[in-house]
Amino acid sequence: MCFNATALSVAISDGNGSAGSNNVIVLSPGVFRHVALTWDKVNAEAYIDANPVVAVTGALSFTSQDLVIGADLDNNMVAAPFVGLIDDLRFYDRTLSVDEIHQLASQ
């Protein structure tokens, strides 16, 4: 995910490039946005406010780089840091259903 002063965009890498969506949603100060990412070892999907915004089918590639939340890691340097608050970050040991994502987004 990438953030700038006015928009949020999501990209999922398959190791050969990435599928993504630019300026998916306009960010407004003080407005909460629900973001969910799922992966079932075959399909990766991203949702914003319970709406699907990007999907990739196939194997994902992983690197030895650290997981970075709220910024991009470029050549081991933090780039494009998110300016704002990230609240209620959760990791699950299973893929959430679309219904579960809708339920979480409505809380």
Prediction pTM value: 0.74
Give yes or no for a contact between 75 and 96, defined as CB atoms under 8 angstroms apart.
Answer: no
Residue 98 has pLDDT above 80, yes or no: yes
Residue 79 has pLDDT above 60, yes or no: yes
Average pLDDT over residues 27-37: 82
Q: Which position has the higher pLDDT, 77 or 19? A: 77
Residue 41 has pLDDT above 80, yes or no: yes
Residue 60 has pLDDT above 70, yes or no: no
pLDDT value at position 59? Answer: 67
Which residue reads 């998110």 in tokens? 82
Structural domain boundaries in the chain: 2-105
Which residue reads 């949020």 in tokens? 8
- The one-letter code for the residue type at 64 is S
